[in-house]
Structure 1
Amino acid sequence: MKVNVQTLDAQAAGELELNDDVFGLEPRADILHRVVTWQLEKRRGTARGTRERSDVARTGKKFGRQKGGGTARHGDRRAPIFIGGGKAHGARVRDFNPSLNKKVRALGLKMALSSKVKAGTLTIIDSLDVAEGKTKALVANLAKLNLTKVLFIDGDAVNISFAKASANIIGVDLLPAVGANVYDILKADSLVLTRAAVEKLEARFNG
Structure 2
Amino acid sequence: MKIGKIEVKDEVFNVRVKKHVLWEVVKWQLSSRRQGTHSTKTRGELGYSGRKLLPQKGTGNARHGDRGANILVGGGVAHGPKPRDYSYSLPKKVKKLALKMALSDKAQNKSILIVDTIELGDVPKTKNALEFLKKNKIDSEKVLIVTPQKDEVIYKSFRNLPNAKVLPVEGLNVYDILWSDKLVIHKDALEGIYKRVEA
What is the TM-score when the length of structure 1 is the normalising length? Answer: 0.75
Specify which of 141, 146, 152 is matched with residue 132 of structure 2: 141
Is the CA contact (8 Å cut-off) linking 2:70 and 2:78 kept in structure 1?
A: no
Residue 28 of structure 1 deviates from its aligned partner by: 1.3
1:70-110 superposed Cα distances (whole Å, 9 cap, x missing partner): xx9754586469xxx97234632365324322211111111
Instruction: Give the Cα separation in 2 of the matches to 1:123 and 1:114.
Output: 13
Specify which of 170, 178, 184 is matched with residue 178 of structure 1: 170
Instruction: Give the Cα separation in 2 of the matches to 1:54 and 1:206.
Output: 53
The 5-angstrom pairing of residues 26-105 of structure 1 reads 26-53=16-43, 66=56, 75=65, 79=69, 87-89=76-78, 91-93=80-82, 96-105=86-95
Instruction: Give the Cα separation in 2 of the matches to 1:183 and 1:195.
Output: 22
Identity of aligned residues (%): 38
Moved more, 36-45 or 129-138: 129-138
Find the counterpart in structure 2 of residue 10 from structure 1.
none
Residue 39 of structure 1 deviates from its aligned partner by: 1.4
Superposition RMSD in Å: 3.4
Question: SS of 1:178's equivalent?
Answer: helix
Find the counterpart in structure 2 of residue 153 from structure 1.
146
Structure 1 residues not aligned, in runs of 5+: 5-14
Residue 54 of structure 1 deviates from its aligned partner by: 6.1
Specify which of 105, 110, 114 is matched with residue 100 of structure 2: 110
Distance 1:204 1:53, change over 3 A: same
Structure 2 residues not aligned, in runs of 5+: none
What is the TM-score when the length of structure 2 is the normalising length? Answer: 0.77
Aligned residues: 193
